[in-house]
Structure 1
Amino acid sequence: MRVSGPTPVPEVRTGSCQCGDVTYAVTGPADDPHLCSCSHCTRISGAPTVEWVGFRAQDLRWTGPGGEPTWFATWPTLRRGFCPRCGTHLISVADGSLMVMVTAFSLDDRTGLEPVGHSFRAEAVPWMTVTLAPDPAHR
């Protein structure tokens, strides 16, 4: 007879829009926390960069009274979800991807999600200095 310890409880992170109408939970490990300064992300956010964190699409569930966000095709192969009530940008999903990217600052707890990469860094505003966390694969 094989005796094993307790089954580990998967990590659950929760997040929401500004008004709390659209909320979500993601189970499992976070992947590729990174900043993006492409003109697409900066225009949609109105900020010099957006921090994205990936999760498996199958591990995301919408939990709030508002249900799912309102989806917009913001690029030929990309949909983004926004709260229909307050407009908060919450999520990005590429066609055919098994991953979803949530905006890191929509998460209630961002512990351990320091960005390890910066997409379109050459397009970043020149006055912004970014210090990235060490890549976990190389620690």
Structure 2
Amino acid sequence: MTGQTDAPELRTGRCQCGDIAYEVTGTPDDPHLCSCEHCTHLAGGPAMSWVGFRRKSLTWTGPGGEPAWYATWPTLRRGFCPRCATHLVSVADDSEVVMVTTFSLIDQRGLEPVGHSFRHLAVPWMSVARAPDPAHH
């Protein structure tokens, strides 16, 4: 045995109070910032940081079960903790990808943003240094 495994990478995340927790497996996809009106209002800041995983790889593991859901578009739902209000996920009805808030993950290593959605709406004083896109190397 070499000690290597073919098991997919496992990451865990949770809300601030720990009532809503989750696991995701697989390769993270599209780490990016978003400065759309919805993300900035929900975050209370100039951008929200997201990273995608296969929707079917998400498992809710905390004592609170699934988050509460809020629709910001007719086909887009956002999941948050009803106890502490931490924003955790965003999922479009027709997507196989779930976006998790990067900083709800316990370990954010290797998840530097490669893009900035709605950058034209970002506050003028915000400066973002994006990581190189691994798909183009």
**TM-score, normalised on structure 1?**
0.94
Segment of structure 1 superposing worse, 68-77 or 53-62: 68-77
Q: Tell me, in whole angstroms, the C-alpha distance in 2 between the residues paired with 1:9 and 1:62.
A: 19
| Of 94, 97, 100, the match for 1:99 | 97
SS of residue paired to 1:35: strand
Structure 1 position 9, deviation (Å): 2.2
Letter in 1 for 2:36: C
Q: Show CA shifts across 1:85-112 (max 9, x none).
A: 1000000001111000000000000010
| Of 114, 117, 128, the match for 2:126 | 128
Q: Tell me, in whole angstroms, the C-alpha distance in 1 between the residues paired with 2:113 and 2:5.
A: 30
Q: Tell me, in whole angstroms, the C-alpha distance in 2 between the residues paired with 1:122 and 1:128.
A: 11
Letter in 2 for 1:51: S
Q: Tell me, in whole angstroms, the C-alpha distance in 2 between the residues paired with 1:84 and 1:11.
A: 28
**TM-score, normalised on structure 2?**
0.95
Q: Show CA shifts across 1:100-135 (max 9, x none).
A: 000000000001000000001011001010000000
Structure 1 position 137, deviation (Å): 1.0
SS of residue paired to 2:94: coil
Instruction: Say whether residues 1:60 and 2:36 are aligned partners.
Output: no
Structure 1: gaps spanning 5 or more residues: none
Q: Tell me, in whole angstroms, the C-alpha distance in 2 between the residues paired with 1:40 and 1:76.
A: 13
Structure 1 position 44, deviation (Å): 1.3
What is the root-mean-square deviation of aligned Cα atoms in Å? 1.4
Q: Tell me, in whole angstroms, the C-alpha distance in 1 between the residues paired with 2:11 and 2:49.
A: 16
- State percent identity of aligned pairs: 71
- 1:1-139 → structure 2 map (5 Å cutoff): 7-139=5-137
Instruction: After the TM superposition, list the runs of 4 or more consecutive aligned residues in structure 1 that deviate by more than 2 angstroms.
Output: none
Q: Tell me, in whole angstroms, the C-alpha distance in 2 between the residues paired with 1:6 and 1:102.
A: 27
- Whose radius of gyration is greater, 1 or 2? 1
Structure 1 position 29, deviation (Å): 0.6
Q: Show CA shifts across 1:49-71 (max 9, x none).
A: 00110000100000010000001
Count of paired positions: 136
Letter in 2 for 1:47: G
